[in-house]
Amino acid sequence: MTTRHLVDPELAPMLERFPELHLSRETLPQARAALAGMTARSAGLLPAFRHIAVTERRVPGPAGAPEVRVLVYLPENAPRPLPALLWIHGGGYVLGSAADEDQLVKAIVVAVGCAAVSVDYRLAPETPHPGPVEDCYAALKWLHGSAAELGVDTGRLAIGGASAGGGLAACLGLLARDRGEVPLAFQLLLYPMLDDRTVTATDPHAHVGEFIWTRDGNRFGWTALLGHEPGREGVSPYAAAARAEDLAGLPPTYVGVGALDLFLEEDMEYARRLSRAGVPTELHVYPGAFHGFDRVPRARVSQAATRDYTDALRRAVRPGA
């Protein structure tokens, strides 16, 4: 059975262009190289964002770990202090880099009027949990501690990411809440990868996960991050945020996901639980949309999604703007 007939027609061309991923330890180096090559080839073809200063920094990493590479985005000539977004890239916990989402981050900076710091966390399986989320926490602490230097308002810090980046952002939100060192104003979770138990579901949703990020890819990503088969008892909520028993006290949250995305039900359930825990929560489900659909900028459903999440972030960190 195929779900192709359910795909929004404006999104369908992406399925012809995007290579099918068959991830394994053997194919992972080639997949990483292919993704890096795609990023490099597209760099000169994409529209330029003027008046954004981008710098590369190396910030202190977790105890006993290497420094963390971050990209810092500061809009020029914008009044200080600025709200700031810590952005975490996607890639199933095993792929990607901050550079891959450079255009996306710049678009958010322009649309919202904020600073941003994008994190190059260490990837699994070479660095399993807790390395990736601790790298993100180290970057968040650096952002908070460097607020005066960067011209950032520590009362208006948000975290966010897409796919695995959204999953790490959700875990980071829990970690920041529990450590009590960095206050957060908002978390922006775009089709986040939240629950390793989706891999082992006995009654999986029949109409999700056919395209872009599949069940096989999901199993590989979770296994790489956890260091064992997903679905076991005792998985840390700082690795899989859906495992958290208590969601109270988290910052206001936006969750957006496509109706054909493998993560549909885990994302809807997380939003439901956030709401039940008293967390102001905004949930959007986009019909005809598969994983990563918003990377088709001319599709109306992608434009709607982009407008929805940038509006939500702007309302959270620039009230009244």
Does 261 qualify as catalytic in the annotation? yes
Q: In 3D, which of 137, 136, 173 has the Cα closest to residue 255? A: 173
Pairing relationship of beta strands 115-120 and 68-75 according to DSSP bridges = antiparallel
- Spot the catalytic one: 118, 120, 291, 302: 291
Task: Say which DSSP state 216 is in.
Answer: H
- Spot the catalytic one: 100, 120, 261, 267: 261
CA dihedral 262, 199, 170, 236 (to 10 degrees): 180
Does 163 qualify as catalytic in the annotation? yes
Question: Rounded to whole angstroms, how far apart are CA atoms 232 and 305?
Answer: 34
Residue 290: both structure tokens together:
């598969």
CA dihedral 261, 28, 46, 86 (to 10 degrees): 70
Does 236 qualify as catalytic in the annotation? no
Question: Rounded to whole angstroms, how far apart are CA atoms 247 and 207?
Answer: 28
Q: Are 250 and 175 in contact (CB under 8 A)?
A: no
Q: In 3D, which of 299, 263, 297, 298 has the Cα closest to residue 283? A: 263
Helices (H), 205-263: 215-226
Handedness of CA 275, 165, 13, 4 (dihedral sign): negative
β strands within 40-149, DSSP E: 52-59, 68-75, 82-88, 115-120
- Spot the catalytic one: 129, 163, 196, 302: 163
Catalytic residue annotation: 163, 261, 291
